[in-house]
Amino acid sequence: DVKVTQSSRYLVKRTGEKVFLECVQDMDHENMFWYRQDPGLGLRLIYFSYDVKMKEKGDIPEGYSVSREKKERFSLILESASTNQTSMYLCASIRAGPAYEQYFGPGTRLTVT
């Protein structure tokens, strides 16, 4: 079974803190994604990566950065957390190609106070 794990299920941070969200997948997938999910807005893509050390901006990259030093690990970084970054963060991975399913992690509910 494909497993996508995220470092925390729940996280509470203070405004201005630097926050790291880690995601690890164990199926050698090339592509990895970070989404945030907010009520009424659905899933919005923050960043994605098609290969090690490669990253591309999604629809809402402002306030975030990412790192992919190893194929299995994709990290989302909030350089200076703000209250409007309180959200559910979902990581996903997928094999390269046109017709594969995405596998999601369980999500990290981040609260910034």
Partner 1 sequence: SQQGEEDPQALSIQEGENATMNCSYKTSINNLQWYRQNSGRGLVHLILIRSNEREKHSGRLRVTLDTSKKSSSLLITASRAADTASYFCATDGTGANSKLTFGKGITLSVRP
Tell the smallest beta-carbon distance from residue 39 to partner 1 (Å).
Answer: 10
* Contact range with partner 1 by CB under 8 A, out of 12-20, 67-75, 79-87, 105-113: 105-113
Whether the CB-CB separation of 19 and 46 falls below 8 Å is answered with: no
Pairing of strands 108-112, 10-13: parallel
Which of 43, 39, 46, 41 has the alpha carbon at shortest distance from 63? 46
φ, ψ of residue 109 in degrees (nearest 5): -90, 110
DSSP secondary-structure letter at 72?
Answer: T
Q: Which is nearer to partner 1, 17 or 95 (CB)?
A: 95
Residue 40 engages partner 1 in binding (rule: CB under 8 A): yes
Length of the chain: 113
| One of 22, 58, 63, 73 touching partner 1 (CB under 8 A) | 58
Contact residues: partner 1, CB under 8 A: 4, 31, 33, 35, 40-43, 45, 48, 50, 58-59, 88, 90, 92, 94, 96, 98-99, 101-107, 109
